[in-house]
Amino acid sequence: MKASLRLLVLVAVTVLAVDQVTKYLAVSRLTNALDGREGLSRVTGFVSEQNLDNNPPDEEGRRRVSRPHRFIEDYWHFRYVENPGAAWGLFGNLPEGVRRIFFHVVSLAALAFIFLMYRRTELDQKLVRLALALISGGALGNFVDRLLRGYVIDFIDWHWRNQPGMRWPTFNVADAAICVGVAFMLLDSLRVRRPAAVAAPLTESPNP
């Protein structure tokens, strides 16, 4: 592997792994989908179980989502949510067949665009390269969710004392990586770059 791609692969794979592990923990701790399962069966259950938030409800009308875990009371809860759309639920109301194709095409196009941008960066643009790697890892994490289930698992719930209009949309590790990556790119764009030093022209030595 070329040295120029190592950072992209390392960061993207790390973000993808952390994202999927935390989503597994969300399913195992915030729903009853994996209750009674052991070992490999828990992993296969995480991959195969769907519609855990009962929307629409199943025939028996049983709720599969447990109560939110209050990590920091009034500010930070862990709450299982299935998001069929993009950020803030955008395009979540599209017909399922159209929505899946739309997000698959958009995700693949975005990943290809990020890869091309990364290849065009210079080796000294370390912050931009890290930003693109974080964004690609986050995009991969949510893309895997849509491939497996048709929706994205969100579970981090930030809010201010449950006040109306003071709740951040529920998100996940992949979303956080994308936001951090975008912030790094904005930060890099604000940096003042010194113009490259121009070598002084050689002066001819005076005739003896």
Q: Which residues are catalytic?
A: 154, 175
Helices 173-190/3-30 angle, 10° precision: 140
Burial of 23 (0-12, 13-18, 19+ CB in 10 A): buried
54: alpha, beta or left, given left = phi > 0 and alpha = psi -120 to 50?
left
With beta carbons less than 8 A apart as the criterion, state whether 152 and 83 touch: yes
What is the distance of C-alpha 84 from the center of its chain? 14
Which residues lie closer than 8 Å to 67 by C-beta, 6 or more apart? none
Q: Give me the amino acid identity at 84.
A: P
With beta carbons less than 8 A apart as the criterion, state whether 168 and 205 touch: no
- Give CA–CA dist 32/64, Å, rounded: 5
- Within 10 A of 200 (CB to CB), how many other CB atoms are there? 6
- Give CA–CA dist 46/48, Å, rounded: 6
